Chain A
C-alpha cells in the first residue's frame, strides 16, 4: 500500500508556465511534508516544506498548497525555467516522532521546454 501518492508521473511545460504537481497521503499522523528536488546523478535536495498547521507555504517561485481534510497537497512552480527540469518527490513524516523517518512518493519528472 502506497502511503504517499504522486501524480502525474511526468509533466512537460513550456518555459514561463506554472507546473502543478500533486501529492496525497494515507496516514493521518503525517504532519510534515517536504518536497525534494533531484537532478540526475545527484541526491535529493530539500526544496520547500510545510507543516500541517498551515495551508500554504511560499518560497520564491515555489508554493505548496495543503488541504488537511482531503489529505492532499500540491507544489506549484511558477514561471517555470529549463533549470527546473528535475524529478520532484513529495515526502511525509510525523514531526514529533524521533528520527524524522520520511515516506516518499514515486516522484514526478518535470521537463521545462524553452
Chain B
C-alpha cells in the first residue's frame, strides 16, 4: 500500500537545540498531518497542512513548532527550541481527503 516515510527513525537532541523531523508523504496526497504519541498514551493531533498552509493546529502545537513543505519536498516539523516534554514519537500522515496513511514515526528524545 501507499507509504509515508519518516526520517530519521530516532533522534536524540539536547534541550534547547533545534530539531527538524522529515516526512516524505504519499506522492499524490494533498493533506499532511503531524501527530504526537507519548509512551502509553493516545496519539494526539498536532497540525494539518494543505495547499501550503496550516489548516488547523491543536493546543499541543506550541509557538516553538513550525511546519512547511517547500516546493513539494519533505513535509517537515521543526521544533526550536526543544524542551524535555517534547520527547515523544511523532507520526507524520497524509491523505487525499479520505483514508489517512501514517508513517512509522520518529522517536524524539530530548535530554
A100 pairs with B97, CB closer than 8 A: yes
Q: Please report which residues of chain A, range 25-69, place their CB below 8 angstroms from some CB of chain B when the two chains form the complex.
A: 34, 36, 41-46, 49
Q: Nearest chain A CB to B33's CB is how many angstroms away?
A: 8
Least Cβ–Cβ distance between A2 and chain B, in angstroms? 8
Tell me the minimal C-beta distance from B63 to chain A in angstroms.
20
Task: For the complex, give the distance between the alpha carbons of A42 and B4 in Å.
Answer: 11
Within 8 Å CB of A49, what residues of B?
99
Q: Contacts A43-B4, A43-B104: A104 and B55 contacting too (C-beta < 8 A)?
A: no
Task: Tell me the bound Cα distance from A49 to B99 in angstroms.
Answer: 9
B-side interface residues toward A, CB under 8 Å? 1, 4, 6, 31, 33, 35, 41-45, 48, 50, 55-56, 91, 95, 97-105
Given contacts A34-B99, A105-B42, 7 further A-B contacts (CB under 8 A): A4-B42, A44-B102, A46-B99, A98-B50, A99-B33, A100-B95, A106-B41
